[in-house]
Structure 1
Amino acid sequence: MVDTTKSFSISAWVKLDNKDRNHTFLSQAGEHASGFQLYYSKDLDRWVFNRHATDTDNTTIVRTLSKDSAQADVWTHLTGSYDAEKQALSLFVNGQLQQTTAFTTPWRANGGFQIGRVHYRGGWQENMAGVVDDVRLVQSAATPADAQALANGQLPAQLQELATFTLDEKSGSARVSGGKGAGSVATLAGDGAQLGVEGKFGTALHLNGTSGYAATAGPVVDTTKSFSVSAWVKLDNKDRNHTFLSQAGDRASGFQLYYSKDLDKWVFNRHASDTDTTAIIRSTSVDAAQAGVWTELTGVYDDTAKTIQLFVNGKAQTPAAFTTPWQARSALQIGRLLYKGAWQEHFAGTIDNIKISDRSSPATCPRSYVVGHRGAPKLAPENTIASLQAAIDRGADWIETDVQFTKDGQPVIMHDATVDRMTNGKGRIDQLSAEEISKLTVNGGGHVPALEEVLTLLKGRSTRLLLEIKGTQTPASVDHALRLVSEAGLTQRTMAQSFDEDVVRYAAASRYKTKIALLRDNLDADPVATARKFSLSAYAVNFKGLSVSPAAVEQLQSAGIEVFVWTVDRDSDWQAATTWGVDGIITNRADELIQWRNTLCTTE
């Protein structure tokens, strides 16, 4: 049974005997109505996930529907999800998002979980005729990647954690969720804790180093047993110690993940006792820490081996023996440390994607972003709204799209310099007006979008935009495109890229600042020097070009430059790219890369 006042997801494989009436697969009863219902609707001929607005006989019903008609006698995987933070219902069919609908009146259904019937107007109704299998309930909202994992018979990686703080809440939120619905919630404190800033994934939490922090109401992890803690962090400076995560005792802390100024290293430590005179056991990074660079840190305590160990960007550092575990019974702290009975070492910087686990090994999920090249061109015509939407719905971290400029200077979304290949028209884009292009039909359906349409599509979503500015352009044209991005409020989630070095210079010089990437077919002799010359945030190189010297990935990342590789469509090349540690994989098969990545999200 799930707590229907909080985030939850339910899923099952179903096969209908017929479509002669409504058939309920899963529900959870209240006194008069049901907290949710996953079912087939005869009137709509659709799969449906609904919630009753109140536990009364006259309740209204809020529904989210499948896009296509339901089929009888065919195994179909259905996932219904309620996101308490976003106040929204979502339905997934065979792992694909169908529809999301607002739902603002959650109530607790205490009448029991039901397989095959629904409680409505005080009676049992709509019994299922058919077969149901692999029923799953989780106290967390599902993402498209989670729904796909459930459809593949896997438990989504983040649902295996004790807590996962994505830190994607809106600016001004007073609390952040640990991702478990009924699980951990951390409350922000001080005036120096700011949500909504640019993160490693989506948005993140910035702390000012003096008053800002976040803390749960109580302990999250049992520090007497095996556990791991991880986060992506970016230091503002290295002027002192900075604590990212800790869990407090009475006088000391059960663990600390932090930066040490004296050592100039990343550190995972444990205090040997909950006293002011405690010894401190440390596992430290081999290399010096860097400020201003996103770094993934993981600290692991292995109760069987009696060791602690730090991992930096997935790479194991030297372990240290630790033989005196004790239970830190106070709260998990984000951004400060309890030591000698006082709060110390506040973090100045940004933190994202915190995970707390009761396992003694870090997760082995590939760390690379999935970037949908021109959206999802295997599912809909490239660069159309349908293609971009398909990539977003299937969980792509980024969508990549191309900008050309019309005769009247308007940015439109098209890879080619002409409309010949993709539409029912002829001619160069720079010789056609925006109005003329808007009247064309794309082969396979749809129209040529204006840049504004793509920006509107991304508003309110966490998906990022990789905006390739095609061809030779003027500073005014580049400035125009970046101004539209800025006016849409998407500067922090957009990166402009180009093969043309002048375009890259114009973007870097624009008053509408965004991240910049340079596209290359082959590696430069010194890619780090090139990145610095053009003030790059990322270096985007062809897969074959990068394969000549994969060591360039670490060199660039050590200089604070992300590495994107294009266009990678073979499974074996995905494996190679993730092994090299690239930050982003640009692919025409975003949906399949996401599924491939999910299969690797296991633990040792």
Structure 2
Amino acid sequence: MAYTYGFIGGPYGTVRAQQAGGAVTIPFLPLASGPQRLTVRAIDRAGRSSGQSAYEFNVKSGHAPVSQWKLADPAGTTSAAAETGTAARAGSGVTFAGAAPDGTGLTSTAHLDGGDQAFLTPDAPAVDTHGTFAVSAWVRPERTDRDMAVVSQGAGSTGAGLGLRRGDEGPVWSFTVAGQEVSGGAPETGEWAHVLGLYDAETGLAQLYVNGHEAGTKTKAEPTRTTDAFRIGQGSGLSAWQGDIGDVRAYDRVVVPAEATELGYRKPKSLGHWSLETASDGASPEQSGRAPLKLGAGATVYRVPDSSCLPELDPDCPVVPLPLVGDGHLQLDGETGYAATEQPVADTSGSFTIGAVVRLADAEPAHPMTVLSQAGEHTDAFKVRYQPSEHAWQLVMPVKDERGAAETVVSQIESADGGEGQGHRLAVVYDDATDQVKLYLDGVAGTSATADFPDGWHSSGPLQVGRGHTADGWGEYLHGDVDEVQAYAGALRDRDITGLGWGTDPCLC
């Protein structure tokens, strides 16, 4: 006797009973809350199938952490209040009211000085290391040249610990269970990261998430139960944490991938939205009153002329082209036309997103044309341009602020517009957490438009629209139309990118 079964979205499979009509048990880990459905058919020895039976049920959201300390306590406090669980007393090497990672909802964190008193503890276990558990925290190391503990409970075959370790090829994040380690990611001095270690007793596997993404390779482990106290900032055989820690959590269940992603998510912050519908005194305003884009010679804002006639009703009424989005767009002459802010908009050493709508005037451009760039002292920190020899839009990222520096280039093949249609929505995303750059074309970034880029660098120049740096100075002037320039601190997700370029800001929810 066998049974075939399936859940919505999987898994699917066949299991055999030890005796005819016998019951079987299958493990099932729901990856999302909401309605779920199990279908089953019985298969006899002759291979004949029964009718299908179905069982519908609802999956609840995972319960809250068994222990959580935001570590957002007032300065001078000697213990950390618990959102759930028991308050944690703090050693004298802990100070509160430190900086918090942007876009996380945290208001402050704790700083640990790396000495013997750099710890917090509830003086009791926070998780059952013999069962399923997970631990996580936001962390910012002040150094990466030594092994340091983020959180721990127990040691050796009974212990588990989350921390930073000096690797043979550079520092890595580490999650150790019963002496078995999973490592990955790339800690950086002074950079925030969200780290999460998970042990699933059902599968016997330990795994690590860094900034919401799985890192390293799942590792088999067989921990036993420990009654040792849970400790923040200290661990067996490791130096105490030196740096900032916030929002420490301990779970007695599996944290599913979507939850890990959400825990490591930093909500981007708008830096500017230029709709390019009007201009006065040579400048087009930013929607929220921030710095305008100043128009250079050869740049104008096009608007539909006021007219009382309608071409569909009056055959003598001239047909005029509509703006790309809304009531106007920026027109650039391809020779001297550009628009620029007076100061940098994005901190290009960290995560950022910048998008625009663009339509090329020529069907066969004679030279490369840059739509977006932001310069350092010697070259552009990034440049989005059309390369006619490749028939492609390109994102160009020099690895350092030097003339002739090596460049990371990703591209999207697309024909030039020739002044027709409603243009294309382009967006560049640099994600410092994953060390990747992406170029989106109309909401899509494929593998050819994604590349590793481990070290973004700070650019001191203004945001440029319609030109970029060349060996001879400013050049690659764009001949065409540009609209809806939007900039963010932080990396927008795929689903958010599709909201750029329509006259409004994406929800980011």
Task: Place the TM-score, normalised by the shorter chain, in its bin.
Answer: 0.3 to 0.5
Larger radius of gyration: 2
TM normalised by structure 1 equals 0.41
Q: Which has the higher helix share?
A: 1
Higher RCO (C-alpha 8 Å, min separation 6):
2
TM normalised by structure 2 equals 0.47
Q: Which has the higher strand share?
A: 2
